[in-house]
Amino acid sequence: MEYSALQIATLLGGTIEGDHNVLVSNYSKIEEGKPGTLSFLANPKYENYIYETNASIVLVNNDFKPSKPISATLVRVPNAYLALAKLLQFAEKNKPRKKGIDKTAKIERSAKIGKNVFIGAFVYIGENVVIEDDVQIYSHCSINDNAKVGEGTKIYNSVVIYHECEVGKNCIIHANTVIGSDGFGFAKNPDGSYFKMPQNGKVIIEDNVEIGAGTTIDRGSMGSTILRKGVKIDNQIQIAHNVEIGENSAMAACSGIAGSTKVGKDCIIAGMVGISGHIQIADNTTIGAFSGVSKSITEPGQIYQGAVAIPIMKNKRSFAVYRNLPDLSKTVFELEKQIKELKESLNK
């Protein structure tokens, strides 16, 4: 579909500088802009491209002040990146959606299937499963006994949702994710072998949660593993049994949280972070990439980083010392040499 600058500005509540009637039918990066596409400028590092881009429309922040003439039509908005996200979501919702149940799907008689549901090839729906209205389940998924999937949720290929688990409304679960697998629970026998502890809890995923591809979320050993409303989980993440993640927290790829840890609201956990079990992470905490968190973070709004995560400014000071260790070591050796020579001269 084609959209004019006027239609886009009206949708976003923005203002136009340039041709109100110029049309776009696709998107492009600002450095690769082509006629008939819409682009955006949110990061000042890319400003030089806006003077050269061939994109027909560019979203910019209200406070953007060009230093040269721009050929593209500008649509000014409070936040260009957020505006782009809203446009992309609008376009996604207007795409034709799949409907119907593939003849190869296996649905147990006791399952309850809502209206306007799409169930793809070779999907299995178990006993007493509840699939609410407008759910989309792509091929080779398995939704096991007594599970529930809320209205408007989209589940991509080869996702497995174990028994008893609950997924809320308007969630997105990407391919090959496993929800409700057993937590890592074993008791040690006197002879050193391990005795498996049954995992009798479940996973509860609240509304508007997105979970990336290849992620694993373990069921509670007793009670539930819980992802609260608005949580965003990236690809290839491990969330252990009885973890709770607070509303609108986000977690980047290849991170992991050990059992029974509670993460607060509005937290940001960057990539390759490891968080120990049985600790608390306060609201609005940011944990930098490659960090290891072994103790509770009790003060909200802090930024932590490091192999043993500490407040970021302390980490930067520590790294400054670490970076200078070769010179410091050389200085210490020189001082030791001088002290030795001084002692020898005093003993003569």
pLDDT value of position 315: 78
Its sign, for the CA torsion 213, 244, 180, 259, is: positive
Query: Could you tell me which residues come within 8 angstroms of residue 108 by beta carbon, excluding any fewer than 6 positions away?
Result: 125, 126, 127, 128, 129
Cβ–Cβ under 8 Å, residues 142 and 158: no
160-196 pLDDT, tens per residue? Answer: 999 999 999 999 999 999 999 999 999 999 999 999 9
* pTM score of the predicted model: 0.83
CA dihedral 273, 278, 282, 283 (to 10 degrees): 80
Element (H, E) at 108: none
CB 89 within 8 Å of CB 110? no
Q: What is the mean pLDDT of the chain?
A: 94
Q: What is the DSSP letter of 51?
A: T
State how far the Cα of 309 lies from the Cα of 287, in Å rounded to an integer. Answer: 8
Strands lying side by side in the sheet with 224-227 = 112-113, 130-131, 148-149, 166-167, 202-205, 224-227, 244-245, 262-263, 280-281
Q: Which of 20, 140, 174, 241 is catalytic?
A: 241
pLDDT at 60 > cutoff 90: yes
**Residues 93, 107: contact at Cβ < 8 Å?**
no
CATH number of the domain located at residue range(s) 3-93 in this protein: 3.40.1390.10
Q: What is the pLDDT of residue 62?
A: 96
Question: Given a cut of 90, is residue 97 above it in pLDDT?
Answer: no
- As a whole number of angstroms, the distance between CA 149 and CA 146 comes to 10
Nearest to 287 by CA among 308, 266, 270: 270
Of 161, 174, 130, nearest in space to 148 by CA:
130
Q: What DSSP line would sit under 291-307, residue for residue? A: -EE-S-B-STT-EEETT
Q: Is 339 exposed, middle or buried (0-12, 13-18, 19+ CB in 10 A)?
A: exposed
- Write out pLDDT tens, residues 266-281: 999 999 999 999 999 9
- Domain positions in the chain are 3-93, 100-313, 320-346
Instruction: Give the SS3 label for residue 90.
Output: helix
Asked whether 255 and 237 are in contact (CB, 8 A), the reply is: yes
Structure token digits, residue 309: 């995560």
Q: List the 37-41 sheet strands across, edge first.
A: 15-17, 73-77, 57-61, 37-41, 26-27
pLDDT digits (tens, 9 = 90+) for 303-326: 999 887 778 888 778 777 777 888
Q: Is 241 a catalytic residue?
A: yes
Residue showing tokens 């050193």: 192
CA distance 127 to 110: 5
What are the φ/ψ torsions at residue 298 (nearest 5 degrees)? -100, -20
pLDDT at 1 over 80: no
Beta bridge partners of 293: 275
Helices 312-323 and 325-346, interaxial angle, to 10°?
60
Residue range 100-313 forms a domain whose CATH class is mainly beta
Interval 284-303: pLDDT, tens? 999 999 999 999 999 999 99
* SS3 assignment, position 229: coil
**Is the model's pLDDT at 341 over the cut of 90?**
no
Q: Which two tokens stand for residue 325?
A: 């260790």
Per-residue pLDDT tens digits for 143-153: 999 999 999 99
Pairwise CA distance, residues 27 & 78, whole Å: 20
Q: Which residue has the tokens 């905490």?
A: 285
pLDDT of residue 85: 94
